[in-house]
Amino acid sequence: PHQPAWWTSAVVYQIYPRSFADGTGDGIGDLRGILAHVDYLQDLGVDVIWLSPVHESPQRDNGYDISNYRRIDRLFGTEEDFDELLGQLHVRGMKLVMDLVVNHTSSEHPAFKEARSSRENPLRDYFWWRDARPGFEPGEPGAEPNNWGAHFGGSAWTFEPATQQYYLHLFTPHQPDLNWENPKVRHEVYETMRWWLDRGVDGFRMDVINFISKDLALPDGLMERGSIWGDGSPYFTNGPRIHEFLQEMRREVFGGRDGDFLTVGETPGATVDQALLYTDPYRAELDMVFQFEHVSLDQDPGRKWNYRPLSLPDLKTSWNRWQRGLADRGWNSLYLSNHDQPRHVSRFGNDGAYRYESATLWATLLHLQRGTPYVYQGEEIGMTNAGFTSIDQYRDVESLNFYAEATAGGMSSEDALEALRAMSRDNPRTPMQWTAGPNAGFSDGEPWIQVNPNYVDVNAESDRAAGKSVFGYYRSLIQLRHTQDVVALGDFHMEAPEHPHLFAFRRRLDETEWLVVANVSDADLELPLGMASSGPLILGNYADAGDPEVLRPWEARVLDAS
Ligand code: ISL
């Protein structure tokens, strides 16, 4: 009938600029650093680069707090550096997608400075202002307009003595929420997006975009036993006007514009049903969304620090539901790692004895699904969690706030550090390990966050020279998506959903049928009847074919079962 969208056969690579490569020697990654590695990206074969924020920002949340949406932060380089990077990617056939952080601004944004200056300021209504709770003195404990907690600790409301009102911030007090009810706010955002497209960028990754529409009553949220703050998420997640706003954005920003663009919404708490609404092409909202179900299975709901080992059947149930739910309409984005999640080879694999095997196993399971895969910098060389042992090594605002609150609440420092070692957002933010040289080849200066000491063994240079190269394996996976329609467009059929260690599924397109089998464990695994000897090996993560009936530890095979 009609051409499949270009991104069905594309792979996206996420760069977290401050940790990728430092071209200026100040210890912080930057655009010159990225420019020095564009050939590396091309060699990997990725189609799109998603750049985490490089806009002007006080860096309270590493750039997810923007004070000027049209300027590059000097920390990362100049306007010319940015345009050069865009050009260098484009001549290599790669696209560039910007982060769009518009649920909130920085508290240093000129609009917020205006807004907070007086109740009568014309920009006051760009943000959310509310009086104290009736019956309370403004500013006193318990007087917040409602009981919502903020994402990285404390109340979601901060009191401004000058105007005797509170402003809403779902994240830190330095990230005031924009009031999307105000059409001027929306149209300024659209104008900024058009400005970036005119500059030549190819799309947007939209930060917590399903939080922008709030229930205007701002009702109190449920309070879990023992917690100080309520859970406001039902009142701002996938809120009442979200689809209207996204359709308006699509019309206003992309309407009448020709080209191959990409929009991906970050949507914590989105269900399959909601994702279908966001990504059904006929509704014209978003191309795809980042859902969070699969990265929430190893923790208590909404409490990432209460974590446990993943149950494989749970993951299969979840992924299968997403694959089926978006099979006919809508589209999945596929990821295991990003700048907010622990390194998946440490979290779901074995980052010691089977680092290569488990890194490539998870890559196989992800890239062979139907959807658009996202590679987070460093996963393509099997980088692991940070392994920090002292609170001084941490930089992330969420991690530091957790440690302070948890230890003040009676948790031992050892227990808090153990939780951070497993779940902290600094795990994926240690510098990219390029070589075995000083600072892993990341910087000539003192890195802003410590390099993982395993860089001597784990680095891009040695990985690419090794027989067992994670990079080489990713390259093969990316090539399969580029060249094999069954990978990009085939149907998905889960097998053996209850098996505790076997992950198996089929992909089918016309006469082609592929079978993917993987052993998610440290021990040998005998394949069930009907899966052994299924056909020629297309790709596998062991050097030799092995016993057709037995998978070795963390072995993954892609078989042609046509
Ligand atoms: O990291 C999380 C919890 O540990 C997530 O809940 C995260 O807050 C959520 O995915 C939203 O993330 C995005 O917006 C944040 C920013 O800090 C994250 O880096 C960004 O990915 C606020 O802008």
Instruction: Pick the atom of ligand 1 nearest to 103's CA.
Output: 23
Ligand 1 centroid from CA 340, angstroms: 6
Mutate to test the pocket of ligand 1, among 207, 231, 394 (most ligand atoms within 8 A of CB): 207
Q: Cα–Cα distance between 137 and 342 in angstroms, integer?
A: 42
Span 173-179, mean pLDDT? Answer: 99
Q: Ligand 1 pocket: which residues have CB below 6 Å?
A: 61, 64, 101, 151, 171, 207-208, 266, 268, 304, 339-340, 398, 425
Nearest residue (by CA) to ligand 1, atom 3, is 340
Picking from 321, 387, 385, the residue whose alpha carbon sits closest to that of residue 355 is: 385
**pLDDT at 237 (0 to 100):** 98
Instruction: Pick the atom of ligand 1 nearest to 65's CA.
Output: 23
51 Cβ neighbours under 8 A, 6+ residues apart? 15, 17, 34, 96, 97, 98, 99
Q: Which CATH architecture has domain 110-168?
A: Alpha-Beta Complex (3.90)
pLDDT band of residue 82 (cuts 50, 70, 90) is very high
Residue 396: active-site member: no
Mutate to test the pocket of ligand 1, among 208, 211, 306, 395 (most ligand atoms within 8 A of CB): 208
Do 110-168 and 490-560 fold alike per CATH?
A: no
Ligand 1 centroid from CA 216, angstroms: 23
Span 340-365, mean pLDDT? Answer: 98
| Residues 450-471 as b or e (16 or more Cβ within 10 Å = b) | bbbebbeebbbebbbeeebbbb
Instruction: Pick the atom of ligand 1 nearest to 104's CA.
Output: 23
Amino acid letter, 164? Q
Q: How far is CA 473 from the centre of its chain?
A: 22
Q: Cα–Cα distance between 350 and 355 in angstroms, integer?
A: 6
- Which helix (H) or strand (E) is 290 found in, with range? strand 288-290
- Catalytic residue among 61, 99, 207, 298, which? 207
Share of the chain above pLDDT 70, in %: 100
DSSP code string of 310-333: PPHHHHHHHHHHHHHHTSSSS-BE
Long-range CB contacts (within 8 A, 24+) of 131-134: 131/164, 131/165, 131/166, 132/159, 132/164, 132/166
pLDDT band of residue 532 (cuts 50, 70, 90) is confident
Backbone angles phi, psi at 163, to 5 degrees: -115, 5
Nearest residue (by CA) to ligand 1, atom 11, is 208
Ligand 1 centroid from CA 64, angstroms: 9
Tokens of 92: 């290599």
Ligand 1 centroid from CA 514, angstroms: 36
Is residue 1 over pLDDT 60?
Answer: no
pLDDT tens digits along 270-279? 999 999 999 9
What are the residue ranges spanned by the domains of the chain? Answer: 110-168, 490-560
**pLDDT at 179 (0 to 100):** 99
Ligand 1 centroid from CA 404, angstroms: 19
Q: Cα–Cα distance between 340 and 175 in angstroms, integer?
A: 17
334, 295 contact by CB (below 8 A): no
Nearest residue (by CA) to ligand 1, atom 19, is 340
Ligand 1 centroid from CA 384, angstroms: 20
Ligand 1 centroid from CA 171, angstroms: 8
**pLDDT at 10 (0 to 100):** 98
Nearest residue (by CA) to ligand 1, atom 16, is 64
Mutate to test the pocket of ligand 1, among 19, 55, 64 (most ligand atoms within 8 A of CB): 64
The mean pLDDT value of the chain amounts to 97
Share of the chain above pLDDT 90, in %: 97
Instruction: Pick the atom of ligand 1 nearest to 423's CA.
Output: 4
Right CATH number for 490-560 from 2.30.30.100, 1.10.300.10, 2.60.120.260, 2.60.40.1180? 2.60.40.1180
Mutate to test the pocket of ligand 1, among 51, 151, 212 (most ligand atoms within 8 A of CB): 151
Instruction: Pick the atom of ligand 1 nearest to 340's CA.
Output: 1
Nearest residue (by CA) to ligand 1, atom 4, is 340
Please compute, for residue 513, the number of CA atoms within 13 A of its CA located in the half-sphere on the CB side: 10
Span 319-326, mean pLDDT? Answer: 98
CB atoms < 10 A from the CB of 79, how many?
Answer: 12
Is residue 176 over pLDDT 70?
Answer: yes
Instruction: Pick the atom of ligand 1 nearest to 64's CA.
Output: 23
Tokens of 36: 């020095």
- Catalytic residue among 266, 287, 495, 555, which? 266
Sign, CA dihedral 452-454-459-463, equals negative
Ligand 1 centroid from CA 426, angstroms: 12
**pLDDT at 227 (0 to 100):** 85
Q: Is 123 exposed, middle or buried (0-12, 13-18, 19+ CB in 10 A)?
A: middle
DSSP code string of 438-451: GGGGS-SS--SSPP
Query: What ipTM score was computed for the predicted complex, to two decimals?
Result: 0.97
Instruction: Pick the atom of ligand 1 nearest to 304's CA.
Output: 4
Ligand 1 centroid from CA 218, angstroms: 21
pLDDT tens digits along 453-479? 999 999 999 999 999 999 999 999 999
Nearest residue (by CA) to ligand 1, atom 15, is 64
Question: Please, which residues bridge with residue 149 across strands?
Answer: 155
**pLDDT at 302 (0 to 100):** 87
pLDDT band of residue 390 (cuts 50, 70, 90) is very high
Nearest residue (by CA) to ligand 1, atom 2, is 340
Nearest residue (by CA) to ligand 1, atom 10, is 268
Residue 207: active-site member: yes
DSSP code string of 156-218: SEEEETTTTEEEE-SS-TTSPBB-TTSHHHHHHHHHHHHHHHHHT--EEEETTGGGSS--TT-
Is residue 533 over pLDDT 80?
Answer: no
342, 427 contact by CB (below 8 A): yes
